Each structure stands twice: as C-alpha cells, then as structure tokens.
C-alpha cells in the first residue's frame, strides 16, 4: 500500500506511535510518506520506502496565526496525487483530520480515504474545549476509519462526541527486540525513572514527593527524562524537600530504550493516560511500572502482577509500591518477568502492525 502519515513530529506519544508505525510498515514492504512540519524524532531517513515531505507555512504580515491546517491540507492533496496514495492516516484529531478531510475534497484522481487515530488529549483536552468541539466531532465523523488506543478512549469518544460510527481499538505497541531487559545494567544504586513531556496532566510533582517518601526507606535516585512546563516547579520542590541531589533532570532523550533497562521501576503518576505508552516500553524492558488507575492504563497493567496501579494523587500508596519494588528482590524479579511476558504476548509490533494493515485494507475497499 502507499500510505501517507501525518502526526505531531516532536516529542509525545502520538508522534512516536505514528513514526514507529510508519517505519514498521515500510519494513513490511509498504511505501510510507510522512507529511509533517518537521522530521519526526524517531525517523531514520535512511529507511527504504520511507519518504518525508515537509509542510511549509509561510508567514505573511496579515496572518496573526499562520494557517498551518490549510498548508497541511494542500500538501496532503499534492502528495496524494503525485504519489497515488491509497490512504492517509492522521494521528491526533486537531487539526490533522480536518486537513485530511479538505485534502480528500481536493484530490481528483480517486476518492482518498483517511483514517484518524485518537490518542488522548486530542479528545480529552483539546476536543473538549468549546472552540474545537464541533470541528473535532465533524472531522471524526467524516473519517473513513477511526481507531483509538484503548477501550477507555473508545467509550469516552462515543459518549462525549456522540459518535455512532464504529471505532476500532488498536493498542499502542513496542518493538520487543529493541526494548528488552538488561539485568546486568541494573547493578548499583536503586533507580526510578519518569519519562514525559512534563505537562500538568503528568503530575510530575508527585514523582518528586514520592521520591522524598521512598528515600526515608531506600537510597534511591530519580531520573526525570523529558522537558515541559512543570520542570521548573519540580526542580523548586526538589530543593524545598532537600532532595535536589537525588534527582537528575536528563532533558529530552532520543534513545529511551538504552536508558530504561538501567532502571528498577517507572513512576507514571498521571492524572489521565489514554494508554501509557511509556509504561509499555518499561514493561518490555522488564522494568515494572507504578502508575495511576486512570484512563486506558488498566488495558495494559494487571495490578500486582506486572505492575502496580494506585489512585491519582495518592502519593503514600505510590511511594509504598515503589518501596516494595526496590526492597523486595523476589517481587521485583517476578514482576519484571511478568511485565516482559505481557509486552511480548500482547503488544509487540508483530502483533499490532497487522491490525493497522487490515484496517487500512478495509477502509480502502470501502472507499
Ligand atoms: O502523553 C502525552 O502527553 C503525549 C500524548 C500525545 O498525544 O502525544 O500521548 C498520548 O498518546 C500516547 C500514544 O498513543 C498514549 O500512550 C498516551 O497515554 C497519551 N497521553 C495521554 O492521554 C495523556
């Protein structure tokens, strides 16, 4: 198939899923055209059958807000015509599915179907905003195929937007040959990792507060990978609690698969997580997650078996679970093995990518 993919190419779960999906599809013999404003972070441009088409948004004195969605639609239509695309797959509803709808109207060689994948905050935060509600609902309804990443997201989209079209759940996936355990790398001091874009929804101050409690029992260090709006507040809290030396802010990391296997636990205290890709990546590396019981996380973690889930904001409980994992070797090995097994059995690329291929075929036939 000839597939066009549009996503937010910067750091963030939806961009990572879109990029890795494109790379895997290309490995399986499809032509994949990324249509984005920058090169997606995990995109290796040397991969055969992968093409990158930049969307340029020119500035003009009249434009207070450069019309990116319009430029994107124009570029999508141009690439679709020129490369005879079979399908467009857009990740994150706003504005990508609106642009795809426009591109569909502009494409003349044949009807260009488009698939929209909803990743979470495109529905729960952006789409729920009054300024975007109607256009989000419209663009989802006009999509030729809709997928999302957890049962929770399917329910939420149906209920909130009143969508009656079928929504297919295709979970996040992980490449189990790249994300794998390395028990030797875990020697030395106990290490906890948090990875995110440090947006308020991630509640990164809870990581700092939990570490403060954990350190009353275990000599542990916290690695904070990523960057974003709450970083300053987290640094200030670490100083206030006297644990600044015990936390390393690593900044944005391109190769988390090298970092995660060195850790003993992942802490993901999010307010809401449509799935929790980073928890899956940790599980594939045999690093048990301590996450919150929210959104689509229960699709991934079996509580007490391959990770822990506690209530949002219950820092005592989350710290307690981290302490258990860092002090009880037998529990840690059991959970690490179960986490890896779960990733391999249910969420490896080999299992999930064919679901997208089948979905595209169905959508193309329907068009
Ligand atoms: O988590 C983020 O802030 C990034 C966000 C995104 O839209 O890029 O991630 C969302 O998509 C991921 C990939 O499908 C999911 O694994 C994350 O759970 C989801 N994030 C939220 O729902 C907050």
Model pLDDT for residues 229-252, shown as the tens digit of each residue: 999 999 999 999 999 999 999 999
With bands split at pLDDT 50, 70 and 90, how would you rate the model's confidence at 294?
Answer: very high
Average pLDDT over every residue of 203-221: 98
Same domain, yes or no, for 216 and 95? no
Q: How many CB atoms are closer than 10 A to CB 125?
A: 14
Element (DSSP H or E) covering residue 16: helix 13-27
Provide the Cα torsion 117, 121, 124, 130; round to 10°: -100
| Confidence (pLDDT) at 41 | 77
Residues 6+ apart with CB under 8 A from 190: 218, 219, 220, 221, 264, 326
- pLDDT of residue 345 exceeding 70: yes
Same domain, yes or no, for 198 and 147? no
Average pLDDT over every residue of 184-208: 95
Domain of 274 in residue numbering reads as 183-347
In a domain? residue 323: yes
Q: Could you tell me the distance, in angstroms and rounded to a whole number, from the CA of residue 12 to the centre of ligand 1? A: 6
Q: Could you tell me the distance, in angstroms and rounded to a whole number, from the CA of residue 274 to the centre of ligand 1? A: 6
With bands split at pLDDT 50, 70 and 90, how would you rate the model's confidence at 163?
Answer: very high
Contact between 169 and 150 under an 8 Å Cβ cutoff? The reply is yes
| Confidence (pLDDT) at 39 | 86
Q: Could you tell me the distance, in angstroms and rounded to a whole number, from the CA of residue 83 to the centre of ligand 1? A: 30
In a domain? residue 178: no
Provide the Cα torsion 226, 46, 87, 274; round to 10°: -20
In a domain? residue 168: yes
Q: How many domains does the chain have?
A: 2
Query: Which residues lie with the beta carbon below 6 Å from any ligand 1 atom?
Result: 12-15, 17, 92, 119-121, 149, 172, 197, 199, 201, 272-277
Same domain, yes or no, for 74 and 20? yes
In a domain? residue 303: yes
CA 283 – CA 265 distance, rounded (Å) = 9
128: domain CATH number is 3.40.50.2000
Average pLDDT over every residue of 159-168: 93
CA 206 – CA 306 distance, rounded (Å) = 22
- pLDDT of residue 211 exceeding 70: yes
Report which of 309, 213, 217, 216 is spatially closest to residue 267, judged by C-alpha positions: 309
In a domain? residue 312: yes
Same domain, yes or no, for 156 and 203? no
Pocket of ligand 1, candidates 120, 252, 299: which has the most ligand atoms within 8 Å of its Cβ, to mutate? 120
Q: Could you tell me the distance, in angstroms and rounded to a whole number, from the CA of residue 87 to the centre of ligand 1? A: 24
| Confidence (pLDDT) at 127 | 67
With bands split at pLDDT 50, 70 and 90, how would you rate the model's confidence at 314?
Answer: very high
Q: Could you tell me the distance, in angstroms and rounded to a whole number, from the CA of residue 149 to the centre of ligand 1? A: 9
Same domain, yes or no, for 193 and 159? no
């Amino acid at each position: 198939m000839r597939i066009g993919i549009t996503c937010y190419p910067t750091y963030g779960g939806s961009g990572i899923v879109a990029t890795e999906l494109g790379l895997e599809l290309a490995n399986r013999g499809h032509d994949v055209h990324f249509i984005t404003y920058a090169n997606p972070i995990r995109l290796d441009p040397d991969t055969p059958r992968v093409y990158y088409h930049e969307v340029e948004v020119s500035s003009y004195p009249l434009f207070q807000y450069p019309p990116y969605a319009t430029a994107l639609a124009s570029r999508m239509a141009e690439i679709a015509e020129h490369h005879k695309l079979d399908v467009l797959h857009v990740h994150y509803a706003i504005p990508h599915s609106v642009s795809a709808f426009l591109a569909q109207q502009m494409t003349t060689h044949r009807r260009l179907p488009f698939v929209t994948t909803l990743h979470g905050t495109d529905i729960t935060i952006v789409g729920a905003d009054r300024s975007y509600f109607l256009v989000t609902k419209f663009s989802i309804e006009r999509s030729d195929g809709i997928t999302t990443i957890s049962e929770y997201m399917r329910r939420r989209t149906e209920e909130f937007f009143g969508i009656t079209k079928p929504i297919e759940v295709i979970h996040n996936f992980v490449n189990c040959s790249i994300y794998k355990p390395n028990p030797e790398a875990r020697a030395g001091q106990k290490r906890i990792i948090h990875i995110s874009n440090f947006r308020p929804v991630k509640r990164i101050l809870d990581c700092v507060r939990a570490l403060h409690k954990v350190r009353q029992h275990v000599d542990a260090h916290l690695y904070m990978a990523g960057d974003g709006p709450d970083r300053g507040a987290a640094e200030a809290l670490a100083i206030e609690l006297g644990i600044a030396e015990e936390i390393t802010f690593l900044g944005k990391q391109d190769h988390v698969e090298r970092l995660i296997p060195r850790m003993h636990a992942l802490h993901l205290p999010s307010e809401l997580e449509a799935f929790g890709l980073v928890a899956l990546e940790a599980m594939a590396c045999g690093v048990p997650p301590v996450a919150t019981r929210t959104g689509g996380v229960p699709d991934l973690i079996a509580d007490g078996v391959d990770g822990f889930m506690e209530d949002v904001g219950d820092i005592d409980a989350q710290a307690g679970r981290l302490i258990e994992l860092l002090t009880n070797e037998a529990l840690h090995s059991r959970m690490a093995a179960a986490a890896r097994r779960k990733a391999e059995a249910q969420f490896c690329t080999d299992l999930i990518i064919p679901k997208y291929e089948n979905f595209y075929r169905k959508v193309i036939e329907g068009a």
